[in-house]
């Protein structure tokens, strides 16, 4: 089977567009359409529903998409293994990341790493932490950067980056610069991030330790990840717990302000997630070493107390 056709198909599904897939792959739109038609003819099924305004996979197409991702991951691993036989760092670096590091930290580091190693092709997918971990398990990405860990014997979690959550609010609001009590927090209009986000998981864990549940708070909206919640806070909808990494720029520009809450320890470590059964490639190890140098004091060092790599358990 032509893996190039599978790559084209997966890109169309990922981007829900023939034209955007063509732009991403650096080919013409007719070439993308031809590749999809050829793959459909080869398999004898319809993979893409072309009847609506948005391009979507058929039910069969969704099944083929999942299998194609695995095939492409195996191909990538074969190429990586061959590349590791030499001294030259090259090949595809597929990274999945949660929104905090994925939107504000990793793009710069990945760009600098590729400038140093021009034969490396970098690809970054930003999702909530649960989805990032799932993508590692499904071999869609070799490396994930997630804001939580998950008990799973197939996963290895390695401390990567230090962060903390803060209560984000509008500058000049009654909460800016304050330290709120838990009783005050219960009455404060609160925007929460979607299920599966590392921010929400940590906040809910700390609330449970303090004897509270999310339902005990004055939740006015449940939105997506960091960008949508930032917009809601800037618009005055409420306050929101957010990663300090994701709002430093807005704080410096005085578009957002922060508050803290008594009794909640919202410091956290973000993890580099890999399959435990898959030896770390030289490319991934080179990138992790490079990233830690770039992060400096923000890096979660491996030899700090409680920050050893673990297989599917709690770290730090």
- How many CB atoms are closer than 10 A to CB 298? 14
Distance of CA 23 to the CA centre of its chain: 23
User: Torsions phi, psi of 25, nearest 5?
Assistant: -85, -10
Give the pLDDT confidence score for residue 304 in this predicted structure. 43
Domain boundaries, the chain: 1-72, 163-267
**CATH for the stretch 163-267:** 3.40.190.10
Q: Which residue has the tokens 């997918």?
A: 125
* pLDDT of the residue at 271: 93
> What is the distance between the alpha carbons of residues 85 and 134, in angstroms, rounded to a whole number?
29
pLDDT for the residue numbered 15: 85
pLDDT attached to residue 307: 41
Residue 299: DSSP 8-state:
B
> For residues 299 and 176, what is the distance between their CA atoms, to the nearest angstrom?
28
Identify the DSSP state of 297.
Answer: G
3 state SS of 276: coil
Per-residue confidence (pLDDT) for residue 227, from 0 to 100: 82
pTM across the whole model: 0.65
* Lookup: tokens for 173: 């609001």
CA 108 from chain centre, in angstroms, equals 15
* pLDDT of amino acid 316: 38
Looking at the domain that runs over 1-72, which CATH code has it been given?
1.10.10.10
List the structure tokens of 151. Answer: 């008990």
In order, the DSSP letters of 51-73 are SSSS-EE-HHHHHHHHHHHHHHH
Instruction: Quote the CA–CA distance of 18 and 27 in Å, as a whole number.
Output: 11
Res 84: pLDDT: 55
pLDDT along the chain (316 residues), means of 10: 88 88 87 93 92 85 90 76 65 89 91 93 90 88 88 88 91 90 92 87 91 90 85 90 88 91 91 86 91 88 46 45
Q: Are 179 and 261 in contact (CB under 8 A)?
A: yes
How wide is the angle at C-alpha 84 spanned by C-alphas 80 and 88, nearest 5°? 110
* Cα distance between residue 17 and residue 146, in whole Å: 28
For residue 72, how many C-alpha atoms fall within 13 Å in the half-sphere facing its CB? 21
């Amino acid at each position: 089977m032509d893996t190039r056709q599978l790559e084209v198909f997966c890109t169309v599904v990922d981007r829900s567009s023939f034209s955007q897939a063509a732009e991403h792959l650096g080919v013409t739109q007719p070439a993308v359409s031809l590749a999809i038609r050829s793959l459909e003819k080869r398999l004898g099924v319809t993979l893409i529903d072309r009847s609506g305004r948005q391009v979507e996979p058929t039910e069969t197409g969704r099944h083929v998409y999942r299998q194609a991702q695995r095939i492409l991951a195996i191909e990538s691993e074969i190429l990586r293994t061959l590349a590791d036989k030499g001294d030259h760092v090259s090949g595809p670096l597929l990274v999945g990341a949660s929104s905090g590091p994925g939107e504000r930290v990793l793009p710069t580091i990945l760009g600098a790493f590729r400038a140093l190693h021009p034969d490396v092709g970098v690809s970054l997918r930003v999702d909530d932490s649960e989805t990032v971990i799932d993508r590692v398990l499904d071999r869609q990405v070799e490396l994930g950067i997630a804001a939580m860990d998950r008990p799973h014997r197939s996963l290895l979690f390695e401390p990567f980056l230090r962060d903390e959550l803060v209560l984000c609010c509008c500058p000049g609001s009654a909460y800016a610069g304050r330290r709120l009590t838990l009783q005050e927090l219960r009455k404060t209009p609160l925007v929460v991030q979607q299920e599966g986000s590392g921010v929400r998981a940590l906040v809910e864990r700390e609330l449970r330790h303090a004897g509270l549940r999310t339902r005990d708070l004055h939740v006015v909206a449940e939105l997506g990840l960091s960008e949508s919640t930032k917009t809601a806070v800037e618009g005055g909808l409420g306050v929101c717990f957010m990663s300090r990494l994701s709002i430093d720029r807005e704080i410096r520009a005085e578009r957002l302000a922060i508050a803290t809450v008594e009794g909640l320890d919202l410091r956290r470590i973000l993890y580099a997630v890999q399959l435990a059964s898959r030896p770390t490639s030289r490319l991934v190890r080179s990138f992790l070493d490079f990233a830690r140098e770039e992060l400096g004091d923000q890096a979660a060092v491996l030899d700090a107390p409680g920050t050893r790599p673990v297989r599917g358990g709690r770290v730090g």
